[in-house]
């Protein structure tokens, strides 16, 4: 009987703490990785695909390569983030806003996001994916170097290709 009591007591104490400690330690590790990335000059890619993060630090102002946040719980990007040299992948996130004056050198993927508006002066070097997004209008001074994909978005039903081209500087095609 005493051995059973000891085992039950160990189970109560050890199992929950280990699980909580793992989750907490994982968060700490991810935050350290992001801070080290910034400390190293924000060079290369920042891949946080599917990681359990809900925010990025305010001192993240620049990403030299791609930033992958797909599958995270990020609701917004830091207001100080102004430049992403490669692709910015935000598909399947609860993202609701982007910082003003954001420049993305590659593709910007907002597929199946909750975002309803784009910031003023947004510049995308390649393609802008709005497939399945909730975007209802285009901002002032939007510049897209490649294609604008509006398939299954409110924009596809609201505007013709010509109207979209009059609202924004689109270098490629408008894809419905």
pLDDT in tens, 17-42: 566 678 788 889 999 999 999 999 99
pTM of the complete model: 0.87
pLDDT in the model for residue 96: 92
- Arithmetic mean of pLDDT over the chain: 91
Angle formed at CA 158 by CA 153 and CA 160, multiple of 5 degrees: 105
pLDDT reading at 12 higher than 70: no
The β-bridge relationship of strands 123-124 and 169-170 is unpaired
Identify the CATH number of the domain defined by range 42-175.
3.80.10
Q: What is the mean pLDDT of residues 74-98?
A: 96
Q: Is residue 116 helix, strand or coil?
A: coil
Cα 23 from chain centre: 22
> In sequence order, what DSSP letters do the residues of 73-89 get, joined into one string?
---B--TT--EESS-EE
């Amino acid at each position: 009987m005493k051995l059973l009591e000891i085992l039950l007591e160990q189970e109560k104490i050890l199992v929950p703490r280990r699980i909580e400690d793992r989750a907490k330690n994982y968060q700490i590790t991810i935050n350290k990785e992001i801070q080290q990335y910034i400390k190293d000059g924000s060079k290369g890619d920042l891949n946080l695909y599917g990681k359990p993060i809900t925010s990025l630090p305010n001192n993240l102002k620049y990403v030299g390569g791609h930033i992958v946040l797909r599958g995270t719980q990020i609701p917004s990007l830091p207001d100080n983030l102004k430049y992403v040299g490669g692709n910015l992948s935000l598909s399947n996130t609860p993202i609701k806003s982007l910082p003003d004056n954001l420049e993305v050198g590659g593709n910007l993927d907002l597929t199946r996001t909750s975002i309803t508006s784009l910031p003023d002066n947004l510049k995308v070097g390649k393609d802008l994916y709005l497939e399945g997004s909730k975007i209802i209008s285009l901002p002032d001074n939007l510049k897209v170097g490649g294609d604008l994909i509006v398939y299954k978005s409110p924009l596809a039903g609201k505007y013709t290709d010509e109207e979209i081209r009059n609202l924004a500087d689109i270098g490629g095609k408008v894809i419905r």
